[in-house]
Chain A
Amino acid sequence: MADESPSRRLTYREALREGLREALQNDPKVFLMGEDVGRYGGCYAVTKSLLAEFGEERIRDTPLSESAFVGAGIGAALGGMRPIVEIMTVNFSLLALDQIVNNAATLCHMSGGQCPVPVVIRMATGAGRQLAAQHSHSLEGWYAHIPGLRIVAPATLEDARGMLGAALRCPDPVLIFEHIALLNVEGELPERAVQVDIDHAAIRRPGRDITVLTYGASLSKCLEAAAQLSAQGIELEVVDLRTLRPLDDALIVESVRRTHRALIVDEGWRSGSLSAEIGMRIVEQAFFDLDAPIARVCTAEVPIPYPRHLEEAALPSVAQIVAAAAGLVAHES
């Protein structure tokens, strides 16, 4: 966009913090709670300095009671507040599944529309830091299975800052998945906050040959693969899904109809996955537009191992994406 306002260099982590600060400044009903968000400054330092700025009432350190504080966020939302709940990582969100799946996702429908649940639940996700199997899950696709939830995954600095505000403007429960591998990524952001939506996917790089559908930390890998392939004359169109539920079918299908080829890159496992869902939607809506079978690059079906070489082998890589894309154009229709 032609934004004339001055810009600054920030990290993804700082962009997340900016989003939080803006949300807390804009609405007195917004508060943040979670493990180590206050005194410690956030496990990943995202919430650093917010306690000093906003005080104990609005920046609330919680006990290690995921079910209670996520449920309390849902209850506070029912009670008219706009809570932001931080779960330290997606791995620990499994301890709050009852509240997320049985309450946040159902109360609006089950009450005949009387009880919308405007809670925002943020959590770190993903692998890549040698944290082994219990700290490396990518389960956002799992959550995207659940009607009643909205699932978003900011892959850019702009979304890291802006998606929180969009989530707070939404009356539904929104889960924000912030990939740990992105926290130190730097970029330019305008000084002034820019509103983003959480309804649409975005084409991050246009291209004529293959539609690459991805999100989160895999986006940068896809863009790198696109740059490499461009040198060989293969042009990837890289789509950042941004919102994993509800999926932006219109953009996905429109892009595939133009390129006639689709590659899905997802750090989740492939069995019963978001990538499977996207592939099937393409089959249902654009089958006769395809010139090649849909391809996928996903994480190997193992609990993520600790040693670097094994972890790297398990996760989607630029080389795998390049190879999969090259395979697609080699496929003669």
Chain B
Amino acid sequence: MSGVTEGPDVSREHALHLLGQMLRIRQFEDRCAQLYTQQKIRGFLHLYNGEEAVAVGVMQALEPRDALVATYREHGHALARGVPMDALMAEMYGKRTGSSGGRGGSMHVFDVSKRFYGGNAIVGGGLPLAVGLALAEKLDKRGGIAACFFGEGAVAEGEFHESLNLASLWRLPVLFICENNLYAMGTALARSEAVTDIRAKAAAYSLTAHAIDGMDVLAVESAARRAVDAIRRGDGPQFLECKTYRLRAHSMFDAQLYRDKAEVEEWRKRGPLITFTTRCKAAGLIAEADFLQLESAANAEVDAAVAFAERSDWEPVEQLERFVYAEHRA
């Protein structure tokens, strides 16, 4: 079935919201790439272009009481979760007004007020944390869940298997979201996994697992809503494999020798922004003017965030050793 003739099952208001969120992420990431070339942002920078539908789609299903764990490619998740863009950009700069006080940088965005627990830069390292956050929800009978984003590269790590087993064994309220963008840095899935069906691996641990089109924000949203409902009903952990694609390099150091330009161009046509915009326009839900307005609003927000980061202060060197240990003892 063609997405152009099939009208999306979504209100105009919600369509604008989803598109606006994806545009914010896209514009933020594109600006980060520019700022990196100007050396305003240093270290490793991993951009989310092409995968926006996953974070934005899943986030529609989550509530403020739910906890999140993401990876080093987490700007999109942070923005979609409501981490203020000003603080996020200041974190890219390493300024003290950043979401982690500047100490984390691009890979370690934290915002406990949004229950956003990082920004984990060890592949697979966030999964056990999400299991523990879910265990806390269960033991404390609070009714929240933990959502955990990770790439398909994590599937090769022991922590993936240990975590899925433990979550399933204890029937913990975890939503595992695998963002399968086909490459673990430069290693294609088939070059590193004997079994490339990730959904099947999750199902082997007795999790309810679905593979979905991660380029389709509505497909992600509806799958996430079903999964979250099931978790809250007490059906145990759920697993979504979102098939997606990274349109930019792995990081700013990546020459992309491992994939064809033609392949990237092919996926670009399937990009979540372009396809969703096309569908919504075809269905008469939104007009070009709406798109331009959202785009310019996102642009203005990014401009303001850059200005905020620029004028923010650096942490004084005297504060170097703060936060190694907690500052408030019970």
| Chain A interface residues (CB < 8 Å from chain B) | 29, 31, 57, 60, 62-63, 65, 67-81, 83, 98-99, 102-103, 107-116, 118, 147-148, 150, 169-172
Contacts and interface: CB of A to CB of B under 8 A. Distances in A.
**Which label, helix, strand, loop or mixed, suits the secondary structure of the B interface?**
mixed
A168 to B, nearest CB: 9
B136 A76 contact: yes
B136 A75 contact: yes
A172 B325 contact: yes
A69 B172 CA distance: 13
Interface residues of B, number: 50
A108 to B, nearest CB: 5
Given A98-B125, A107-B118, A110-B110, A81 B326 contact: no
A110 B100 contact: yes
Contact of B112 (A57, A65, A114): A114
**Among all A-B residue pairs, the 3 with the closest Cβ atoms:** A75-B132, A71-B128, A112-B101
Nearest to A147: B324
Interface in B97-138: 98-104, 108, 110-112, 117-120, 122, 125, 127-137
A112 B103 contact: yes
B140 interface: yes
Contacts of A31: 139
Nearest to B121: A102
B108 A110 contact: yes
A189 B139 CA distance: 33
26 contacts: A65-B163, A67-B128, A67-B159, A67-B162, A68-B159, A68-B163, A68-B166, A72-B135, A72-B163, A74-B128, A74-B132, A75-B131, A79-B132, A79-B133, A83-B132, A108-B323, A109-B323, A111-B108, A111-B112, A112-B99, A112-B110, A112-B323, A113-B326, A113-B327, A115-B110, A172-B326
B127 to A, nearest CB: 7
B129 A110 contact: no
Interface of B: 67, 69, 98-104, 108, 110-112, 117-120, 122, 125, 127-137, 139-140, 146, 158-159, 162-163, 165-166, 169-170, 322-330
Nearest to B159: A67
A201 B330 CA distance: 21
A70 B129 CA distance: 9
A63 B100 CA distance: 34
Q: B100, B129, B136, B326 — which one has the most chain A CB atoms within 10 A of its CB?
A: B129
Contact of A63 (B117, B129, B134, B169): B169
Contact of B324 (A70, A77, A109): A109
B125 A71 contact: yes
A31 B136 CA distance: 10
Contacts of B330: 169-171
Contacts of B170: 60
Contacts of A79: 67, 132-133, 135-137, 140, 146
Contacts of B329: 169-171
Contacts of A65: 162-163, 165-166
A271 to B, nearest CB: 26
